[in-house]
């Protein structure tokens, strides 16, 4: 009996890095569950994948909510027969403000999406990877909280991004016996729409008084990277070519983090 095609779940798949990753994996023959909160965006991604000759399933869910996530993962496994690849990409910048101005509910929202969302994504999918005898997980973190700490007021955000890398390294050992690899990508400035969910307050109180060189991304002459630049690294990390890589954060920032 012929083996089935690989199946991937990509969260935050409606735009940016998630969208680019979903399309790239589908172009390689992987069936993809595109998960997010905005159905219209997800349907556009699914249509793009279908036009390329690939297969995609729209999964509308909030990664911070347990029951919708369980239902979405079950629907994906039921439709495509299993699960092999997890890309935990969904996240928000949230509110960036001085620590005494950042409100508890604003802190909680960032933690809920970025950290609880990563936990629930893995919590609901790892049993299926174990059942299949292995798989690959990539968590999309950031240079913030892992290489740089100079983004004004981004305490909640950097805390979640640092925690994501800690989770990756912890789980790389825990899941190795199940032949499940776990890695992280840590993008720098990438041309995505994440700034739309950023609220910046009282920047003058938290900004670091340093004059950066013109353009913060050396390899591109100051221009942001592209979502495809990150997606290419994710595609490699979930492939058999990366079979001996686990527990590793990979910075995809064009050297930006080294300036800071």
Active site residues per annotation: 157
Using CA atoms, how far apart are residues 220 and 227, in angstroms rounded to an integer?
Answer: 14
DSSP states along 29-58: T-EEEEEES-HHHHHHHHHHHHHTT--EEE
Question: Kindly report the CA angle at 41 between 39 and 43, in degrees rounded to 5?
Answer: 65
The 10 Å Cβ neighbour count of residue 125 is 25
Question: Kindly report the CA angle at 139 between 135 and 140, in degrees rounded to 5?
Answer: 145
Whether residue 235 contacts residue 21, with contact meaning beta carbons closer than 8 Å, is answered with yes
Radius of gyration over every alpha carbon of the chain, rounded to an integer in angstroms: 18
Beta-strand relationship, 94-96 and 56-60: unpaired
On the CB side of 245, CA atoms within 13 Å amount to 18
């Amino acid at each position: 009996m012929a083996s089935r095609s690989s199946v991937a779940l990509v969260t935050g798949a409606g735009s940016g890095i998630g969208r680019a990753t979903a399309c790239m994996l589908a172009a390689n023959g992987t069936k993809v569950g595109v998960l997010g909160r905005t159905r219209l965006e997800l349907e556009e991604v699914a249509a793009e994948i279908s036009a390329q000759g690939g297969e995609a399933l729209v999964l509308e869910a909030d990664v911070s909510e347990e029951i919708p996530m369980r239902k979405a993962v079950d629907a994906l496994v039921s439709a495509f027969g299993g699960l092999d690849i997890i890309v935990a990409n969904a996240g928000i910048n949230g509110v960036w403000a001085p620590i005494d101005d950042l409100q508890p509910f604003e802190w909680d929202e960032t933690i809920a999406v970025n950290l609880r969302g990563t936990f629930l994504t893995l919590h609901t999918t790892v049993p299926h990877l174990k059942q299949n005898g292995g798989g690959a997980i990539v968590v999309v973190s950031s240079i913030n909280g892992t290489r740089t700490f100079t983004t004004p007021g981004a305490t909640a955000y950097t805390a979640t991004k640092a925690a994501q890398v800690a989770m990756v390294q912890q789980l790389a050992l825990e899941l190795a016996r199940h032949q499940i690899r776990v890695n992280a990508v840590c993008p720098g400035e990438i041309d995505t729409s994440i700034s739309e969910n950023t609220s910046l307050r009282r920047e003058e109180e938290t900004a670091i008084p340093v004059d950066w060189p013109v353009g913060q991304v050396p390899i591109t002459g100051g221009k942001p990277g592209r979502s495809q630049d990150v997606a290419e690294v994710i595609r490699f990390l979930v492939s058999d070519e990366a079979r001996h890589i686990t527990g590793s954060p990979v910075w995809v920032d064009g050297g930006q983090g080294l300036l800071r």
